[in-house]
Amino acid sequence: MLQKLPIGIQSFSDLRSNDYLYVDKTEDIYRMITTGKPYFLSRPRRFGKSLLVSTLEAIFQGRKELFEGLYIYDKWDWTKHHPVIRIDCSATSNRSPEMLTNSLSIYLDTFFDQYQLERIEAPLEIKFRLLIAKLYQTTGEQVVVLIDEYDKPIIDNLNDLEIAHKNRIVLHDFYQVLKASDDYLRFIFLTGVSKFSKVSVFSGLNNLIDISIDSKYATICGYTQKELEANFDPYIVQLAKNENSSKQEIIAKIKGWYDGYSWDGERSVYNPFSSLQLFTKNKFIDYWFESGTPTFLVNLIKERNDVEVIMQPFEMSADAFNAFEINKIDTRLLLFQTGYLTIKSFKKNRFDDTLIYILGIPNEEVRRGLMIHLLSSFANYPLSDTSSMKNQMMMYLFENNSTAFERSLQELFARIPYQLHLPFEAYYHSLFLVWLNLLGFKIDAEIPTDKGRIDAVWTWEERVVITEIKYKTKGQATPLLTEAMHQIHARRYYERYTGENKRIALLAIAFTGKEVACRMEELSL
C-alpha cells in the first residue's frame, strides 16, 4: 500500500501526526543546533525551507513525540522547552515600509498573547526587544528566533527599488534587535532566497554562520538519490508500470528531470516539491513553474539580452556569492539564488586558494520551463503553441527540409510585435538560441576554433547542426545566407565534429530587419 505524500504540508507537527511519509533530516539539524547559534540558509522557493523552520520549532518546544523513529529522538534533551518566536515574512504586508512595520508589529502581538504576556504599545524595535526579554524572564529559558523568508519584503518589490530600499531599512533595524538581545537568545535561524550584501543584518548579527554553500549542509533541503530510492520505492515502481519502463529506466528519467541541484558541487538533491508532485500525478512536467511564473527574472534576462549564461556552464568566484545588491542585480547570481542555476562543480583558483564554482542549469524541468517562458517573452509567443511547433521543427531538421524550417522560423518571428524588435544581431542570436534549446538540442554558443568562432552548434542524438547567423537592418537575405554558408565552409567549422559518426548539417540564418531566411545543407564527407 502506498504511503501518503505530504503535498502542501508546511507544518512538521501536521506531517508527523498524520503519518505522512517523511524524509529524516534531523541528523543535519542536530549537528546545526549543537554546534552554533545564529544561522542563515539560502534556498530557492519550494525547497522545504518552511518545513525545516517548523521542524526546528518543534524540537525547541520539546515535542519529543513527533520525532519517534528519527535520528534526533534519543540524542536531544527534550526536558527543555524554549520559547519560540517564529516569523514568516512571506505572510507580512510589504507594499510600503509603513505596511511592513505595522504587519511585523501585529505579528509580535500574537506572541505576547501566546505566552500570556501583557501587550506593549511601542515602536517596532523596542517591542521586539522587550518581547525577547520578557520571554526569557518569565520562562527562565533562552529564546529561539526563527525567521522564514526574511528577504520577501525586498524580493517582492524589486520592480520598485524605492520601496525595496525602504523595506530594507525596516528589516535592518528590526534584525538589529537580535544582536542587542544576544544574552537572551539560544538559537537564531533565518531563511531566504537571496543574501543581500547591504541589508546589514548579516554584519549586525554576531558570528552569523551562512550554511548556504557549506558542504556539511548541502543536502539539508531536498532529497538525495539514496533518500529518494529508499523512501519512495513504491511510487517509483508504480510510475515504471505507468510508463511501461523498467525500474532503473524510470529512476534515470526522474533523475534527469528533477535532480541536479547542488550547493557544494559534489552532492546533488532532487527538488522535493516537484518530486512529490510527480509521484502524485504520474506525469513528467515542469511542476516548479506551475507553482510560480518567473516574470521579473525573465524580463531581466530579456532586457539585458543575457541568455547565454543559461545556455552553457560558466565560472563564478566564491566571493561573488556575497555580492547581491538591490541597485546592481547580477543576473547570474539571481539565477543561482532563485534555483534556475546550480553549482555543477568547483575548482581552486590557480593563483590563490580561493574556489571557483561552475554554474549551470540543474535539470530538464528547469531547462524546459525557463526556455518556454523566455521564448514567450522574447517573441510574444503563446506558451500553449510551443509544443506543436517544437515537434514540427524537429521533423524538419531530421528530414533536412530547409523550406519548411524557414517557414516555421518566419511564423515564429512574425509574432514579435514591431516595437519589441531590437536592431542588434545579439538580440536575434539570443532569441534563436532560446528557441533551439527549447527544441531539446544541446546548445554550445560562440564555439572557438583555430579559424574563428562558430555562432552555435546544437546536437540531438545522431544529429549535429552547425549554425552561422548574420544580421543587417536592411537589404536582401540571399547575400547574407551566401556569406554565412561560405564562412562555414571557408573556415571548416565542421572539422571538429566529423569523427563523431553523426549526421552533420550546415545551417545559415539571415535576419534582415524583421525578416528571417535560412539555408540548410547536409554535409557530405
CATH number of domain containing 159: 3.40.50
Residues 6+ apart with CB under 8 A from 458: 436, 441, 442, 443, 444, 464, 465, 467
Report if residue 2 sits inside a domain.
no
State whether 193 and 269 are in the same domain: no
Report if residue 7 sits inside a domain.
no
Total count of domains within the chain: 4
Sign (positive or negative) of CA dihedral 310, 295, 43, 124:
positive
Judged on CB neighbours under 10 Å (0-12, 13-18, 19+), 447 is middle
Average pLDDT over residues 459-479: 82
State whether 346 and 418 are in the same domain: no
Report if residue 79 sits inside a domain.
yes
pLDDT of residue 420: 44
Return the C-alpha cell found at 299.
524580463
State whether 36 and 119 are in the same domain: yes
Average pLDDT over residues 189-200: 75
Do residues 350 and 222 lie in contact, with contact meaning Cβ atoms separated by under 8 Å?
Answer: no
The last residue of a domain, from among 161, 184, 217? 217
State whether 276 and 190 are in the same domain: no
Report if residue 4 sits inside a domain.
no
Calculated CA dihedral for residues 387, 388, 393, 398, nearest 10 degrees: 100
Half-sphere exposure of 140 (CA within 13 A, CB side): 1
SS3 for 209-243, per residue? EECCCCHHHCCCCCECHHHHHHHCHHHHHHHHHHC
Q: What is the pLDDT of residues 203-254, one digit of tens each?
A: 656 678 999 999 999 999 999 999 999 999 999 999 999 999 999 999 999 9
Average pLDDT over residues 35-51: 93
Q: What is the CATH number of the domain that holds 471?
A: 3.40.1350.10
**Average pLDDT score, the chain:** 86
State whether 81 and 209 are in the same domain: yes
Domain that holds residue 104: 12-217
Instruction: Round to whole Å and give the CA distance between 251 and 256.
Output: 9
Q: What is the pLDDT of residues 62-90, one digit of tens each?
A: 999 999 999 999 999 999 999 999 999 99
Q: What is the pLDDT of residues 261-270, one digit of tens each?
A: 999 999 999 9
State whether 166 and 241 are in the same domain: no
pLDDT of residue 424: 60
Closest CA to 55 of 191, 181, 160: 191
The last residue of a domain, from among 239, 258, 285? 285
State whether 116 and 195 are in the same domain: yes
- Comparing 413 with 185, the larger pLDDT belongs to 185
Report if residue 460 sits inside a domain.
yes
Give start and end residues of each alpha helix (H) in 140-259.
152-155, 161-180, 201-204, 225-231, 233-242, 247-258
Whole-angstrom distance between the N-terminal and C-terminal Cα of the chain? 58
pLDDT of residue 307: 74
Q: Find cell 515504471 and name the residue.
A: 240
pLDDT of residue 453: 67
State yes or no: pLDDT of 383 exceeds 80.
no
Amino acid at residue number 388: S
The pLDDT-based confidence of 406 (bands split at 50, 70, 90) is confident
- Comparing 518 with 302, the larger pLDDT belongs to 518
Closest CA to 128 of 188, 68, 45, 63: 188
DSSP code of residue 5: P
**Percent above pLDDT 70 for the chain:** 86
Report if residue 371 sits inside a domain.
no
Q: Which DSSP helix (H) or strand (E) runs through 454?
A: strand 452-460
State whether 156 and 244 are in the same domain: no
State yes or no: pLDDT of 419 exceeds 50.
no
pLDDT of residue 493: 84
State whether 130 and 194 are in the same domain: yes
The total of other beta-carbon atoms located within 10 Å of residue 524's CB is 5
Q: What is the pLDDT of residues 83-139, one digit of tens each?
A: 999 999 999 999 999 999 999 999 999 999 999 999 999 999 999 999 999 999 999
State whether 90 and 232 are in the same domain: no
State yes or no: pLDDT of 484 exceeds 80.
yes
Q: Find cell 537571496 and name the residue.
A: 194
Report if residue 341 sits inside a domain.
yes
The last residue of a domain, from among 217, 244, 260? 217
Closest CA to 45 of 156, 139, 184: 156
State whether 445 and 488 are in the same domain: yes
pLDDT of residue 4: 84
State whether 325 and 261 are in the same domain: no
Report if residue 369 sits inside a domain.
no
CA 44 to each of CA 222, 294, 335: distance values in angstroms, whole numbers, following the listed order:
11, 12, 10
